């Protein structure tokens, strides 16, 4: 059996960054920028007022000064003529600071009589001018690759971009297998189980930048599985859940070989998630996940999310791990790496009592996985453990 790191390395070998596409900036949230962007303008593109008040030259700022107001500058309506000695311009927030002015005095710090102003006592020392390019200069580089946030969109739009180049979203098909499975909302007959895996996997993958199709449940028959794979035509990645262990009805291995998928590994030394397989055909990459709900979700976090990062052109590596102090003792671990559902609060980890790989409710009540190495010794209260945040 492979270690999780060995399996992850082999999975990285199966995928490559996808091609790029040009999209509107308004649709860019969550997409991966794949080309550096150089600011087309400076921000602000002119020196502007940060306050409502009067634009003056600071040389005229004396307690006995009386300045003549020669006009006004409002946002979008600049005053074209410059100011000279003993002159001022009524100015509003965001307006162009007229030539010759180097300070804005707040309106509450002056007394205006007709077309003249006098300064009150204790004038604020700030100039209240946003200088041209004080946010960023023309030519400023926004580096890629980068998963775009709303704040990135605001900045890129301000830099003058209405379109940006991003990685195409990976198209992924998810196939659940098993005669016992039915879709949510079905009235259960004895022996039937609601298929929940596909929906959780879809959510994880979509949250991380993919387009995901849930295909009809494949029955435990070779022709049913073959049909499901045919329906995945055009996918970059095809994922199956269930049918990957060693039972008589586990047919995924047989079918993937029959349709020309070359598998590169089968089984990983981890729990939950041991029956994991992967391979590649001429058209798509294949990953076979375990059938238990928790196992499939843990494997989605540990393996599929990093794979997606590579496909999207982002930095790819195993998920970032942190440390937390245990609130209780943990028995020594067995021979496989163990990903234990836990709650982490204020830097302290509490591992859930129930670690059954079919218990979805326990995973839903957890926000982290405590990662234990094979044959890890018993852990005591306040000992540090590795964690992956969910």
Kindly indicate the confidence band of residue 244, based on its pLDDT and cuts at 50, 70 and 90: low
CATH number for position 115: 2.170.190.11
Position 124 in a domain: yes
Q: How far apart are CA 169 and CA 296, in angstroms?
A: 22
Position 356 in a domain: yes
Position 316 in a domain: no
Position 317 in a domain: no
Residue 64 pLDDT? 84
Co-location of 126 and 105 in the same domain: yes
Separation in Å, CA 60 to CA 64, 88, 113, 357? 10, 9, 18, 77
Position 9 in a domain: yes
Co-location of 369 and 259 in the same domain: no
CATH number for position 187: 3.40.980.10
Co-location of 163 and 83 in the same domain: no
pLDDT at 245 over 70: no
Q: How far apart are CA 371 and CA 384, in angstroms?
A: 11
Residue 358 pLDDT? 85
Position 337 in a domain: yes
Q: How far apart are CA 349 and CA 389, in angstroms?
A: 11
Co-location of 120 and 142 in the same domain: no
Co-location of 111 and 197 in the same domain: no
Which residue, 311, 341, 376, sits at the end of a domain?
311
Co-location of 153 and 185 in the same domain: no
Residue 122 pLDDT? 84
CATH number for position 383: 2.40.340.10
Co-location of 112 and 190 in the same domain: no
Two structure tokens written together for 185: 């909302």
Co-location of 200 and 275 in the same domain: yes
Q: In Å, how far from its chain's centre is CA 351? A: 27
Kindly indicate the confidence band of residue 65, based on its pLDDT and cuts at 50, 70 and 90: confident
Kindly indicate the confidence band of residue 249, based on its pLDDT and cuts at 50, 70 and 90: very low
With vertex at residue 258, the alpha carbon angle to CA 252 and CA 261, rounded to the nearest 5 degrees, is 75
Mean pLDDT for the chain overall: 95
Residue 247 pLDDT? 57
Q: How far apart are CA 205 and CA 227, in angstroms?
A: 23
CATH number for position 149: 3.90.105
Q: How far apart are CA 348 and CA 119, in angstroms?
A: 59
Co-location of 213 and 244 in the same domain: yes
Domain count, the chain: 4
Q: Where are the alpha helices (DSSP H) in the chain?
A: 4-14, 150-158, 197-207, 222-231, 252-258, 293-299, 305-311, 360-364
pLDDT tens digits for range 298-344:
999 999 999 999 999 999 999 999 999 999 999 999 999 999 999 99
Co-location of 113 and 155 in the same domain: no
Co-location of 145 and 203 in the same domain: no
pLDDT at 248 over 60: no
* pTM metric for this prediction: 0.88
Q: How far apart are CA 60 and CA 69, in angstroms?
A: 13
Which residue, 78, 109, 130, sits at the end of a domain?
130
Position 96 in a domain: yes
* % pLDDT > 70, the chain: 98
pLDDT tens digits for range 355-383:
998 899 999 999 999 999 999 999 999 99
Which residue, 311, 340, 367, sits at the end of a domain?
311
Co-location of 30 and 71 in the same domain: no
Instruction: Report, as an integer, the average pLDDT of 9-34.
Output: 97
Q: Which domain holds residue 331?
A: 322-389
pLDDT tens digits for range 95-143:
999 999 999 999 999 999 999 999 998 888 999 999 999 999 999 999 9
Position 331 in a domain: yes
pLDDT tens digits for range 257-301:
999 999 999 899 999 999 999 999 999 999 999 999 999 999 999
């Amino acid at each position: 059996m492979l270690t999780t790191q060995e399996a992850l390395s082999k999975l990285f070998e199966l995928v490559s960054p996808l091609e790029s596409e040009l999209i509107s900036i308004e649709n860019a949230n969550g997409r991966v920028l794949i080309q550096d962007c150089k600011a087309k303008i400076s921000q602000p593109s002119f020196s502007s007022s940060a306050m409502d008040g009067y634009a003056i030259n600071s040389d005229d700022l004396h307690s006995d000064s009386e300045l003549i107001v020669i006009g006004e500058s409002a946002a979008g309506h600049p005053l074209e003529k410059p100011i000279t000695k003993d002159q001022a311009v009524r100015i509003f927030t965001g307006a162009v600071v007229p030539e010759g002015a180097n300070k804005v005095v707040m309106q509450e710090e002056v007394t205006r009589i007709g077309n003249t102003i006098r300064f009150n006592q204790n004038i604020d020392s700030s100039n209240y001018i946003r200088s041209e390019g004080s946010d960023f200069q023309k030519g400023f580089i926004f580096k890629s690759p980068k998963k775009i946030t709303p704040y990135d969109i605001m900045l890129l739009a301000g830099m003058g971009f209405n379109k940006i180049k991003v990685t195409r979203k990976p198209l992924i098909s998810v196939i659940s297998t098993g005669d016992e499975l039915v879709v949510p909302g079905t009235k259960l007959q004895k022996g039937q189980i609601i298929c929940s895996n596909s929906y959780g996997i879809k959510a994880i993958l979509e949250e991380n930048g993919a387009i995901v199709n849930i295909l009809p449940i494949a029955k435990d028959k070779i022709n049913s599985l073959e049909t499901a794979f045919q329906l995945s035509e055009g996918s970059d990645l095809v994922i199956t859940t269930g049918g990957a262990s060693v039972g008589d009805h586990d047919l995924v291995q047989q079918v993937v070989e029959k349709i020309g998928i070359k598998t590169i590994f089968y089984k990983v030394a981890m729990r939950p998630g041991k029956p994991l397989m992967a391979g590649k055909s001429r058209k798509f990459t294949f990953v076979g996940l375990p059938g238990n709900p928790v196992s499939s979700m843990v494997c989605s976090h540990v393996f599929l999310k990093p794979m997606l990062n590579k496909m999207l052109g982002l930095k790819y590596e195993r998920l970032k791990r942190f440390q937390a102090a245990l609130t209780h003792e943990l028995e020594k671990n067995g021979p496989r790496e163990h990903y234990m559902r836990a709650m982490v609060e204020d830097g302290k980890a509490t591992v859930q009592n129930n670690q059954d790989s079919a218990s979805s409710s326990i995973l839903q009540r957890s926000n982290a996985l405590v990662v234990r190495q094979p044959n890890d010794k018993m852990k005591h209260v306040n000992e540090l453990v590795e964690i992956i945040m969910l």
